[in-house]
Structure 1
Amino acid sequence: MTTTTNTTHATTSTFGALIRTGVIAAVAASAATMAVAAAGNAAGVGLDVGGAPIPVTGFGVLTVVFSLVGVVIAALLSRFARRPRRAFVRTTVVLTVLSLVPDVIVDAEATTKVLLMLTHLVAAAIVIPAVARRLAA
Protein backbone atom coordinates (compact mmCIF):
# COMPACT_ATOMS: atom_id res chain seq x y z
CA MET A 1 0.00 0.00 0.00
CA THR A 2 2.85 2.41 0.73
CA THR A 3 4.30 1.81 -2.73
CA THR A 4 0.97 2.64 -4.36
CA THR A 5 0.66 5.85 -2.36
CA ASN A 6 4.19 6.95 -3.26
CA THR A 7 3.63 6.15 -6.93
CA THR A 8 0.38 8.13 -6.97
CA HIS A 9 2.04 11.06 -5.22
CA ALA A 10 4.94 11.07 -7.68
CA THR A 11 2.56 11.01 -10.64
CA THR A 12 0.49 13.87 -9.22
CA SER A 13 3.61 15.87 -8.47
CA THR A 14 4.93 15.33 -12.00
CA PHE A 15 1.57 16.26 -13.54
CA GLY A 16 1.36 19.35 -11.34
CA ALA A 17 4.90 20.36 -12.31
CA LEU A 18 4.01 19.94 -15.99
CA ILE A 19 0.95 22.18 -15.65
CA ARG A 20 2.79 24.81 -13.56
CA THR A 21 5.69 24.89 -15.99
CA GLY A 22 3.33 25.12 -18.94
CA VAL A 23 1.37 28.01 -17.44
CA ILE A 24 4.56 29.90 -16.54
CA ALA A 25 5.96 29.31 -20.04
CA ALA A 26 2.67 30.46 -21.59
CA VAL A 27 2.76 33.71 -19.60
CA ALA A 28 6.43 34.27 -20.47
CA ALA A 29 5.76 33.57 -24.16
CA SER A 30 2.78 35.92 -24.07
CA ALA A 31 4.90 38.74 -22.68
CA ALA A 32 7.62 38.00 -25.22
CA THR A 33 5.28 38.02 -28.22
CA MET A 34 3.71 41.27 -27.08
CA ALA A 35 7.19 42.77 -26.70
CA VAL A 36 8.17 41.60 -30.20
CA ALA A 37 4.94 42.99 -31.67
CA ALA A 38 5.34 46.30 -29.83
CA ALA A 39 8.99 46.60 -30.87
CA GLY A 40 8.11 45.81 -34.47
CA ASN A 41 5.32 48.34 -34.44
CA ALA A 42 7.63 50.96 -32.89
CA ALA A 43 10.14 50.22 -35.66
CA GLY A 44 7.49 50.96 -38.26
CA VAL A 45 6.17 47.48 -39.01
CA GLY A 46 2.42 47.63 -39.45
CA LEU A 47 0.17 45.31 -37.49
CA ASP A 48 -2.63 45.46 -40.05
CA VAL A 49 -3.90 42.17 -41.40
CA GLY A 50 -6.62 42.26 -44.01
CA GLY A 51 -6.99 45.99 -43.43
CA ALA A 52 -7.67 45.62 -39.69
CA PRO A 53 -5.06 46.28 -37.00
CA ILE A 54 -4.09 43.54 -34.56
CA PRO A 55 -3.78 45.00 -31.06
CA VAL A 56 -0.51 44.18 -29.29
CA THR A 57 -2.51 42.55 -26.50
CA GLY A 58 -4.05 40.27 -29.11
CA PHE A 59 -0.64 38.68 -29.60
CA GLY A 60 -0.46 37.93 -25.90
CA VAL A 61 -3.96 36.53 -25.60
CA LEU A 62 -3.60 34.19 -28.57
CA THR A 63 -0.17 33.11 -27.37
CA VAL A 64 -1.59 32.09 -23.99
CA VAL A 65 -4.53 30.27 -25.56
CA PHE A 66 -2.47 28.23 -27.99
CA SER A 67 0.30 27.62 -25.47
CA LEU A 68 -2.26 26.16 -23.08
CA VAL A 69 -3.49 23.94 -25.91
CA GLY A 70 0.10 22.74 -26.11
CA VAL A 71 0.10 22.03 -22.37
CA VAL A 72 -3.06 19.95 -22.78
CA ILE A 73 -1.36 18.05 -25.61
CA ALA A 74 1.64 17.47 -23.32
CA ALA A 75 -0.59 16.21 -20.52
CA LEU A 76 -2.33 13.78 -22.87
CA LEU A 77 0.95 12.57 -24.31
CA SER A 78 2.40 12.12 -20.81
CA ARG A 79 -0.49 9.79 -20.10
CA PHE A 80 -0.80 7.89 -23.38
CA ALA A 81 2.46 8.08 -25.36
CA ARG A 82 5.30 5.61 -24.98
CA ARG A 83 7.86 8.43 -25.36
CA PRO A 84 5.99 11.59 -24.33
CA ARG A 85 8.86 14.05 -24.74
CA ARG A 86 9.72 12.89 -28.22
CA ALA A 87 6.06 12.84 -29.28
CA PHE A 88 5.48 16.31 -27.81
CA VAL A 89 8.49 17.89 -29.51
CA ARG A 90 7.64 16.34 -32.87
CA THR A 91 3.98 17.31 -32.61
CA THR A 92 4.63 20.88 -31.53
CA VAL A 93 7.35 21.48 -34.10
CA VAL A 94 4.94 20.35 -36.83
CA LEU A 95 2.19 22.55 -35.38
CA THR A 96 4.58 25.50 -35.22
CA VAL A 97 5.50 25.06 -38.89
CA LEU A 98 1.80 24.79 -39.77
CA SER A 99 1.12 27.98 -37.79
CA LEU A 100 3.40 29.85 -40.19
CA VAL A 101 1.27 28.98 -43.23
CA PRO A 102 -1.49 31.53 -42.52
CA ASP A 103 1.18 34.18 -41.95
CA VAL A 104 2.56 33.56 -45.42
CA ILE A 105 -0.80 33.75 -47.19
CA VAL A 106 -2.48 36.49 -45.15
CA ASP A 107 -3.30 39.85 -46.75
CA ALA A 108 -0.55 41.95 -45.17
CA GLU A 109 2.73 43.66 -45.96
CA ALA A 110 5.81 41.46 -46.16
CA THR A 111 7.27 43.00 -43.01
CA THR A 112 4.05 42.28 -41.13
CA LYS A 113 4.16 38.67 -42.28
CA VAL A 114 7.73 38.34 -41.04
CA LEU A 115 6.75 39.87 -37.70
CA LEU A 116 3.84 37.46 -37.34
CA MET A 117 6.11 34.50 -38.09
CA LEU A 118 8.69 35.79 -35.64
CA THR A 119 6.12 35.93 -32.84
CA HIS A 120 5.14 32.30 -33.52
CA LEU A 121 8.78 31.22 -33.41
CA VAL A 122 9.48 33.19 -30.23
CA ALA A 123 6.52 31.60 -28.47
CA ALA A 124 7.54 28.12 -29.63
CA ALA A 125 11.14 28.69 -28.54
CA ILE A 126 9.94 29.47 -25.03
CA VAL A 127 7.10 26.98 -24.53
CA ILE A 128 8.30 23.83 -26.30
CA PRO A 129 11.60 23.34 -24.43
CA ALA A 130 10.11 24.31 -21.05
CA VAL A 131 7.24 21.85 -21.31
CA ALA A 132 9.35 19.12 -22.96
CA ARG A 133 11.74 19.13 -20.00
CA ARG A 134 8.85 18.08 -17.76
CA LEU A 135 7.99 15.04 -19.89
CA ALA A 136 9.53 11.61 -19.61
CA ALA A 137 12.06 10.85 -22.31
Structure 2
Amino acid sequence: MSATTITTAPSTAPSAVALLRDGVAATVAAAVASSAVAAAGIAVGIGVDIAGAPIPVSGFATLTAIFSVIGLVIAVGLRRFARRPRTTWIRTTVALTVLSLVPDVIVDATTATKLLLMTTHVVAAAIVIPVVARRLRA
Protein backbone atom coordinates (compact mmCIF):
# COMPACT_ATOMS: atom_id res chain seq x y z
CA MET A 1 0.00 0.00 0.00
CA SER A 2 1.42 3.37 -0.93
CA ALA A 3 0.56 6.80 0.30
CA THR A 4 -0.66 9.26 -2.28
CA THR A 5 0.07 12.90 -1.82
CA ILE A 6 -2.42 15.25 -3.34
CA THR A 7 -1.19 18.68 -4.15
CA THR A 8 -3.40 21.43 -5.35
CA ALA A 9 -2.41 24.58 -7.10
CA PRO A 10 -3.11 27.68 -5.10
CA SER A 11 -6.28 29.41 -6.14
CA THR A 12 -5.70 32.47 -8.28
CA ALA A 13 -9.05 33.93 -7.30
CA PRO A 14 -9.24 35.69 -3.95
CA SER A 15 -11.86 34.33 -1.62
CA ALA A 16 -15.35 35.77 -1.55
CA VAL A 17 -14.78 36.51 2.14
CA ALA A 18 -11.77 38.72 1.33
CA LEU A 19 -13.71 40.42 -1.44
CA LEU A 20 -16.64 41.15 0.86
CA ARG A 21 -14.44 42.20 3.78
CA ASP A 22 -12.57 44.75 1.69
CA GLY A 23 -15.74 45.75 -0.13
CA VAL A 24 -17.60 46.45 3.11
CA ALA A 25 -14.66 48.50 4.40
CA ALA A 26 -14.67 50.50 1.14
CA THR A 27 -18.44 50.92 1.42
CA VAL A 28 -18.11 52.42 4.90
CA ALA A 29 -15.29 54.71 3.72
CA ALA A 30 -17.32 55.79 0.68
CA ALA A 31 -20.41 56.49 2.81
CA VAL A 32 -18.37 58.64 5.18
CA ALA A 33 -16.63 60.42 2.30
CA SER A 34 -19.82 61.18 0.38
CA SER A 35 -21.41 62.57 3.56
CA ALA A 36 -18.30 64.65 4.20
CA VAL A 37 -18.40 66.05 0.66
CA ALA A 38 -22.08 66.92 1.10
CA ALA A 39 -21.43 68.51 4.50
CA ALA A 40 -18.53 70.51 3.06
CA GLY A 41 -20.76 71.70 0.23
CA ILE A 42 -23.40 72.79 2.69
CA ALA A 43 -20.74 74.52 4.81
CA VAL A 44 -19.67 76.67 1.87
CA GLY A 45 -23.25 77.57 1.05
CA ILE A 46 -24.26 75.00 -1.56
CA GLY A 47 -27.80 73.85 -0.94
CA VAL A 48 -28.79 70.23 -1.25
CA ASP A 49 -32.43 70.91 -2.07
CA ILE A 50 -34.09 68.83 -4.75
CA ALA A 51 -37.33 70.37 -5.99
CA GLY A 52 -37.38 72.42 -2.78
CA ALA A 53 -36.88 69.49 -0.40
CA PRO A 54 -33.51 69.22 1.37
CA ILE A 55 -31.50 66.01 1.36
CA PRO A 56 -30.18 65.22 4.85
CA VAL A 57 -26.43 64.57 5.05
CA SER A 58 -27.22 61.10 6.42
CA GLY A 59 -29.10 60.41 3.19
CA PHE A 60 -25.84 60.58 1.28
CA ALA A 61 -24.30 57.91 3.51
CA THR A 62 -27.40 55.72 3.33
CA LEU A 63 -27.70 55.77 -0.45
CA THR A 64 -23.96 55.33 -0.90
CA ALA A 65 -24.08 52.25 1.33
CA ILE A 66 -27.14 50.79 -0.42
CA PHE A 67 -25.71 51.16 -3.92
CA SER A 68 -22.25 50.01 -2.84
CA VAL A 69 -23.76 46.83 -1.40
CA ILE A 70 -25.58 46.28 -4.69
CA GLY A 71 -22.17 46.70 -6.34
CA LEU A 72 -20.69 44.07 -4.02
CA VAL A 73 -23.43 41.64 -5.03
CA ILE A 74 -22.50 42.30 -8.66
CA ALA A 75 -18.80 41.75 -7.82
CA VAL A 76 -19.52 38.41 -6.17
CA GLY A 77 -21.47 37.33 -9.24
CA LEU A 78 -18.70 38.48 -11.56
CA ARG A 79 -16.11 36.68 -9.43
CA ARG A 80 -18.04 33.48 -9.94
CA PHE A 81 -19.27 33.75 -13.51
CA ALA A 82 -17.20 36.24 -15.52
CA ARG A 83 -14.20 35.10 -17.50
CA ARG A 84 -12.34 38.31 -16.59
CA PRO A 85 -14.03 39.58 -13.42
CA ARG A 86 -11.74 42.57 -12.79
CA THR A 87 -12.09 43.97 -16.29
CA THR A 88 -15.82 43.32 -16.32
CA TRP A 89 -16.18 44.93 -12.86
CA ILE A 90 -14.34 48.08 -13.89
CA ARG A 91 -16.24 48.47 -17.15
CA THR A 92 -19.60 47.80 -15.51
CA THR A 93 -19.09 50.07 -12.52
CA VAL A 94 -17.66 52.95 -14.54
CA ALA A 95 -20.68 52.72 -16.85
CA LEU A 96 -23.05 52.60 -13.87
CA THR A 97 -21.29 55.58 -12.29
CA VAL A 98 -21.73 57.59 -15.49
CA LEU A 99 -25.40 56.57 -15.63
CA SER A 100 -25.82 57.61 -11.98
CA LEU A 101 -24.94 61.16 -13.00
CA VAL A 102 -27.89 61.44 -15.39
CA PRO A 103 -30.54 62.08 -12.69
CA ASP A 104 -28.25 64.70 -11.16
CA VAL A 105 -28.11 66.55 -14.46
CA ILE A 106 -31.89 66.58 -14.99
CA VAL A 107 -33.05 67.11 -11.39
CA ASP A 108 -34.78 70.35 -10.37
CA ALA A 109 -31.85 71.95 -8.52
CA THR A 110 -29.27 74.69 -8.89
CA THR A 111 -26.15 74.07 -10.94
CA ALA A 112 -24.02 74.10 -7.79
CA THR A 113 -26.27 71.47 -6.20
CA LYS A 114 -26.08 69.30 -9.31
CA LEU A 115 -22.29 69.51 -9.29
CA LEU A 116 -22.17 68.66 -5.60
CA LEU A 117 -24.40 65.62 -6.13
CA MET A 118 -22.26 64.44 -9.03
CA THR A 119 -19.13 64.92 -6.94
CA THR A 120 -20.50 62.65 -4.22
CA HIS A 121 -21.13 59.92 -6.81
CA VAL A 122 -17.63 60.19 -8.23
CA VAL A 123 -16.00 60.25 -4.77
CA ALA A 124 -17.86 57.10 -3.69
CA ALA A 125 -17.02 55.32 -6.95
CA ALA A 126 -13.36 56.35 -6.69
CA ILE A 127 -13.19 54.61 -3.32
CA VAL A 128 -15.19 51.43 -3.95
CA ILE A 129 -14.29 50.52 -7.54
CA PRO A 130 -10.49 50.17 -7.12
CA VAL A 131 -10.73 48.36 -3.76
CA VAL A 132 -13.05 45.72 -5.18
CA ALA A 133 -11.09 45.53 -8.44
CA ARG A 134 -7.95 44.59 -6.47
CA ARG A 135 -9.81 41.59 -5.08
CA LEU A 136 -10.92 40.31 -8.47
CA ARG A 137 -8.63 38.42 -10.81
CA ALA A 138 -7.91 39.86 -14.22
> Which sections of structure 1, spanning at least 5 residues, go unmatched?
none
Distance 1:45 1:17, change over 3 A: same
> What is the CA distance between 1:69 and its match in structure 2?
0.6
* Cα shift at 1:51: 0.9
Q: Which runs of 5+ in 2 are unaligned?
A: none
> Once the two structures are superposed, what CA deviation does each residue of 1:38-86 show, in whole Å capped at 9, x if it has no partner?
0000000001001100000000000000001111100000000000000
Q: Secondary structure at the match of 1:136?
A: coil
Output the TM-score relative to the length of structure 1.
Answer: 0.92
In structure 1, the partner of 2:107 is 106
What residue in structure 2 maps to residue 83 of structure 1?
84
User: Between Structure 1 and Structure 2, which shows a larger proportion of helix residues?
Assistant: 1
Normalising by structure 2, what TM-score? 0.91
Secondary structure of 2:46's counterpart equals coil
Partner of 1:55: 56
Which runs of structure 2 are paired with 1:21-40 in the superposition (5 Å)? 21-40=22-41
Aligned position for 2:127: 126
Distance across 1 between alignment mates of 2:77 and 2:12: 13
- Percent identity between the two aligned chains: 64
